[in-house]
Structure 1
Amino acid sequence: LALHALQHVLQSRATIYQHNQRIQALEDQEDEQQKVSDNDNDEEEESWRDQGFTRPTVLILLPTRSTCHDFVKTLLSLLQQDQPQQPNSRDDDARDRFDQEYGPLQVDDADMDENARVYRQKAIQSKGSDWHELFGETANDDDDFKLGLSLHPKRRNKKSVTESTCDIKLYSDFYKSDIIVASPLGLKISVTPESISETSDNDADFLSSIEMCIVHRSDVLLMQNWDHVMDLLPLLNQQPKKTNDTDFSRVRPYLLAGQAAQWRQLIMTSQFLDPLILSTFKRFSENRQGQVRIRRKTPAEEANVTSVLLPVRQVFQRVSCSTIANQGADRVRYFVDSVLPQIQRHKQHHTMIFIPSYFDFISLRNILLKKEVEFVSVTEYARTSEVSRGRARFLQGRKPIMLYTGRAHYFLRHQIKGIRHLIFLGVPEEASFYADHVNLLNEGLEKRDDIIMDDGLASCLVLYTKYDSYALERIVGTANCSRMVRGEKSSFIFAS
């Protein structure tokens, strides 16, 4: 992706440079006999339309500062400028500032004793390599940033523009930048400081000529807040409100005609497919050449269900659902009508309900409060003291039910102990979350006097709808998913 974006900008800048040289040569020409005819001049002037309303042509949306640091470092390495060529160059301060603001964080554990340090490292390692890459102790996980990059080709050979190197400047003004690297939140705040709907005073003109938009790591952005992406994409390629020193004789015709979105390339990458990501791509990818979607099918032997190590029956129950908008409400309704009465009738303890959607969590929490059902909840917004207290009560059996949100596990990766009965109120987007939790069944439930136990065997129940096919495919495999979504049966059992 970095090479693709870099090549696009360099070719565009080289074309503009060649045309500037040609225009300058014609302006300096003094011999009237050597001038071409007016018709030839008109045809040549049309070929000089090589720019947009503003200079930025590439927009790259990334989730965190650490991913931005890696991406920009890749750009610098491709330009062979990962190390400044001149030790005393004026770019040194910008590079140092960039490494300080976006680079790995410094961990100060000098005041910790050896046992605490070992325990801390062990806890961090247990969270997994994917978590460590995004949210580890040295990873800069700040999601509010924006950075302008400007490229300046330097000619080596006067006879060829292609034999040129390029200088890259960090922290350039957006209107003087070629590439804008930002998080959706950071750019949204910059473009719309008060409200995304109040566009009268917003300065989003620098997004009017974007030719390539890359939404990288969409799976992480989905867990953060996808609304920020949905608010930004409509602002691309709008007609500018100010002239911004634009040379309209050099502006491409399709930009003047308001057809810029049809010439823009939208690239979205993700670790997994999700209906929200796909619908966003279909809505905002308006390129004249059409759309291309690349997906990877999951063979049965690579499905996440094969990673379950415990001998436990895993029941997948399909819930009837009419529309995708009602699937959350239908799952909650099925749980309240069919599953919750059984839990209460058998006085079932140590039941954890994993809820991928925060809206479903709010709905179920309100219902349980109304029915006066005892439970604890662990969310991404809860204080550390609340989480610790709730986990202890759940482990001891003083609270029979725990509600655990998918975003809490994504960002915090708690290792919940005391689970005997596991219920997924929806299929987790991250397939690894399924096996991780099933393998935790009966963890920490040794025979102890301070733990309230029941006589039931460990169990696992997954409630899904036909609209969960993408997430379900990653857990059970493509072939099994097709039968489970379209088949006549609504209940399926897997055993390891």
Structure 2
Amino acid sequence: MNTDEGIDPARIKLLTLLNVAAAKPTTTTTTTTTNNRKRKLGQDRNWLAIAKQATIKPKTPSTTTTTTTTTTTITENQVAEEQEEDESNSVDLYHHHFGPQTTLLNPQALQLAQKEDGWKVASNSKTQDHRRIVSFQLDQQQEPDPPSSSNNPTLKIPKALQPVLDRFNPHELRFFDSVNQYQDVWHTGIPYDHHRAHLRTATSLWALQHILKTRAEIIKNNEHLAQLAPKPSTKKSILKSDLEGESLGDEPSEKSKTKKAEREIRDQGFTRPKVLLLLPLRSSARDWLHSLISLASTLTVKGLERFEKEYSLPPGTVDKLEAEDAKFKYPLDHRIIFRGNVDDDFFLPVKFNRKEIRLYSDFYQADLVIGSPVGLRKFIEKEGDADFMSSIEISIVDQMDVMQMQNWEHVEFVFEHLNRIPKKPRDTDFSRVKPWYLDSEAHHLRQSVMFSAHPSAEQHSLFRKLDNLSGKRLEFHETSKTYSVGLVAKVRPGIQQTWRAFDLGPDPLMDHQLRFDFFQKNILGPLQQSALVKEGLAGILVFVPSYFDFVRLENLFRSIEDLKFAAISEYSTPSEISAARSSFFNRHVSYLLVSERFHFFHRYKLRGARQIIFYAPPYHPEYYLEFVNQFPFLPSQNQPKDGAPGDGTFGPVDVKEVSVQVLFSKLDHAKIQPIIGLADSHKILKNLDHAHSFTFV
């Protein structure tokens, strides 16, 4: 960085050295003793350069404050007073976890968190309401500390928020208890029903109390520093007074006292945003923000009119999923997911003040960031950095099952950019930054809360990568009750369902290739010899969960001479969809390729199927019932009410005319369980060395 003309280089050097000293973490921090870390401070950023840029302004207490209110108005000062009252008693869980000298960041824990085998199952229990909860802790081999207030923290909710918590119903309390220990939580199997509103309310309260406590601590320390600062009449910056005091001997003890008190306060991150709310659709963001507003009864919400305009349907638009007959046309989960504004490109910074919630605030003045994976990714790539996410302490992800059907790479991109050292100072007061931020260890304390209707290998992989030192919690929502028997028990009696396993061999990464080879040789080859197929009368519907596999099969079908097929995916136009459905139903083609994403977004009823082939078990288990139990037996749209065939070609279908084949391997175990059932799926997977075909009738 070049110095301006007229500025003494020696003075600049001295100012820089003082600022660097303030920026570095204290030597008493336990976290600096670890040598083998993934990201070292000195390797990530030139702190000398950053300190030079940060020395221009004298240090003054921050004047920007935030707050929120609930049933009664609450300010950061009130929360700070509550914290001071409790200081002589037990330690608040918030300070235990996010304190500048937190004991969670010990060398052994940091080392174990980076290992695959560093985590152990601490408990595996089943609740009375049929939930399965599995807790994971670091496998630390050390004697427990003697009981004290510091290692037995207590959850303390601000008094103004306590009435809200007291009014929680059992469902809301259950969700709140799942997230209120600052552990990573993956709660899966949550159905799309009334529980969704309870989930939002409970988690919103948890995020709200964290924002409130964070801002209250900063406000309290600002007031403390203001009392120690020189009187305004001195007209000298603290830094300049320090320099003159050292050279002239003017009141050195008082200045040293002020400097020391300032240096000891570590209450901030690099940037202000502390909570990230990752959602798939604008309608989801609208539901979550309304939940937050209902808990925080502030005087005003600035930007609400603009928000309602941008996150609702345009005026005059009719939502077909809100129509009276929608429940007869679309399943419940589809109506809940896709009602309202379903745009997936958005982000919204939200700032909490004493008297208002300000929507559309500046990113670096916000406390909460609401956004979609694609919206945040586009913003980050446009800006060239993700500095606004450098100090996120709670990340909440809802409807991961929907994100699974969008583009999962965007989710991974967002998580990879959380808690990175910022590329620019962003007006950071480095003297107040907590040491573990400077040491690139914030990701070890960040809490990630994830909700999903269905588990998946991608979600499990993301959960495994989380390394919150407080532990992890995997919760299955009523899974044993739902999956104990399996959906095959609901299939119409008489339909033959054959599950065919292929051998993975020694390399699980060959799953896609081995599945493709098995399908081509053992399923498609024999089918092509059928006379019905040659005549175009077979009615074979091929369901493909992965778009990668869908494209590969489509190319395969095109390469085979005289193979008549149609294909529809999420990228098909309305005219292409209509032509493909008509060709399949009227037997102009023998095969209809369908991607799972197409069915997820449109939920069309596909008539004319007689043979149904699942290239892999569906990610959404309920789709198995829709394709097997419903589609083959749908009447023609022109069929009279008396049941007689309307076009003179197809009559009622007998169950014996319908057959089902499902390809699977050991890697599909999570998708098999809800369809076949827990007991039968375990038996099948256990016996794959002796049998490769299993039939249900």
Give the equivalent residue in structure 1 for 2:334: 131
Residue in structure 1 matching 2:222, options 12, 20, 42: 20
1:364 aligns with 2:364: no
Q: What secondary structure is seen at the aligned counterpart in 2 of 1:294?
A: strand
Give the equivalent residue in structure 1 for 2:401: 219
CA deviation vs aligned residue, 1:201-230 (integer Å, no higher than 9, x gap): 613211111111112111111110001111
Are the aligned partners of 1:143 and 1:186 in contact in 2 as well (CA < 8 Å)?
A: yes
**Letter of the structure 2 residue corresponding to residue 129 of structure 1:** L
Specify whether residues 223 and 327 from structure 1 end up closer, same or farther in structure 2 by C-alpha distance, changes over 3 A only: same
Q: Which runs of 5+ in 2 are unaligned?
A: 1-202, 233-251, 637-643
Specify whether residues 449 and 286 from structure 1 end up closer, same or farther in structure 2 by C-alpha distance, changes over 3 A only: same
Question: Which range moves more in the overlay, 472-481 or 222-231?
Answer: 472-481
Are the aligned partners of 1:397 and 1:453 in contact in 2 as well (CA < 8 Å)?
A: no
Give the equivalent residue in structure 2 for 1:493: 695
Are the aligned partners of 2:484 and 2:678 in contact in 1 as well (CA < 8 Å)?
A: no
Question: Which range moves more in the overlay, 50-59 or 19-28?
Answer: 19-28
Q: Distance in 1 between matches of 2:215 and 2:598?
A: 45
Q: How do 1:242-281 residues align onto structure 2 when only pairs under 5 Å count?
A: 242-281=424-463
Cα displacement (A) at 1:46 = 5.5
Q: What secondary structure is seen at the aligned counterpart in 1 of 2:488?
A: helix
Q: Distance in 2 between matches of 1:475 and 1:76?
A: 40
Q: Distance in 2 between matches of 1:140 and 1:205?
A: 29
**Letter of the structure 1 residue corresponding to residue 453 of structure 2:** Q
Are the aligned partners of 1:395 and 1:444 in contact in 2 as well (CA < 8 Å)?
A: no
Are the aligned partners of 1:355 and 1:424 in contact in 2 as well (CA < 8 Å)?
A: yes
% of aligned pairs identical? 32
Q: Distance in 1 between matches of 2:614 and 2:441?
A: 46
Residue in structure 1 matching 2:307, options 95, 98, 122: 98
Are the aligned partners of 1:56 and 1:207 in contact in 2 as well (CA < 8 Å)?
A: yes
Give the equivalent residue in structure 2 for 1:288: 469
Give the equivalent residue in structure 2 for 1:161: none
CA deviation vs aligned residue, 1:3-61 (integer Å, no higher than 9, x gap): 1111111111111111111111222689xxxx998897677545521101111111111
Cα displacement (A) at 1:303 = 2.2
Specify whether residues 261 and 52 from structure 1 end up closer, same or farther in structure 2 by C-alpha distance, changes over 3 A only: same
1:304 aligns with 2:487: yes
CA deviation vs aligned residue, 1:144-190 (integer Å, no higher than 9, x gap): 000001112x3xxxxxxxxxxx6321111100001100001111111
Q: Distance in 1 between matches of 2:310 and 2:345?
A: 12
Specify whether residues 378 and 368 from structure 1 end up closer, same or farther in structure 2 by C-alpha distance, changes over 3 A only: same
1:203 aligns with 2:382: no
Q: What secondary structure is seen at the aligned counterpart in 1 of 2:229?
A: helix
Q: Distance in 2 between matches of 1:430 and 1:62?
A: 19
Residue in structure 2 matching 1:443, options 614, 622, 634: 634
Q: Distance in 2 between matches of 1:43 and 1:389?
A: 76
Q: Distance in 2 between matches of 1:224 and 1:238?
A: 25
**For the pair shown, which has the larger CA radius of gyration, 1 or 2?**
2
Q: Distance in 2 between matches of 1:105 and 1:477?
A: 44
Q: Distance in 1 between matches of 2:296 and 2:220?
A: 21
Q: Distance in 1 between matches of 2:454 and 2:600?
A: 14
Are the aligned partners of 1:442 and 1:458 in contact in 2 as well (CA < 8 Å)?
A: no
Are the aligned partners of 2:635 and 2:652 in contact in 1 as well (CA < 8 Å)?
A: no
Q: Distance in 2 between matches of 1:467 and 1:290?
A: 26
CA deviation vs aligned residue, 1:354-374 (integer Å, no higher than 9, x gap): 111111111111111111211
Residue in structure 1 matching 2:377, options 156, 163, 188: 188
CA deviation vs aligned residue, 1:299-343 (integer Å, no higher than 9, x gap): 455522233235311111112113443222222211110111222
Specify whether residues 307 and 444 from structure 1 end up closer, same or farther in structure 2 by C-alpha distance, changes over 3 A only: same
Are the aligned partners of 1:50 and 1:250 in contact in 2 as well (CA < 8 Å)?
A: yes
Normalising by structure 1, report the TM-score. 0.85
Residue in structure 2 matching 1:390, options 551, 563, 580: 580
Q: Which runs of 5+ in 1 are unaligned?
A: 111-116, 155-165, 194-200
Residue in structure 1 matching 2:277, options 60, 63, 70: 60
Cα displacement (A) at 1:76 = 0.5
Q: How do 1:143-154 residues align onto structure 2 when only pairs under 5 Å count?
A: 143-152=344-353, 154=354
Are the aligned partners of 1:398 and 1:452 in contact in 2 as well (CA < 8 Å)?
A: no
Specify whether residues 232 and 173 from structure 1 end up closer, same or farther in structure 2 by C-alpha distance, changes over 3 A only: same
Q: What secondary structure is seen at the aligned counterpart in 2 of 1:289?
A: coil
Are the aligned partners of 1:149 and 1:178 in contact in 2 as well (CA < 8 Å)?
A: yes
**Letter of the structure 2 residue corresponding to residue 5 of structure 1:** A
Q: Distance in 1 between matches of 2:696 and 2:448?
A: 40
Q: Distance in 1 between matches of 2:582 and 2:673?
A: 34
Q: What secondary structure is seen at the aligned counterpart in 2 of 1:353?
A: strand
Normalising by structure 2, report the TM-score. 0.61
Q: Distance in 2 between matches of 1:206 and 1:191?
A: 9
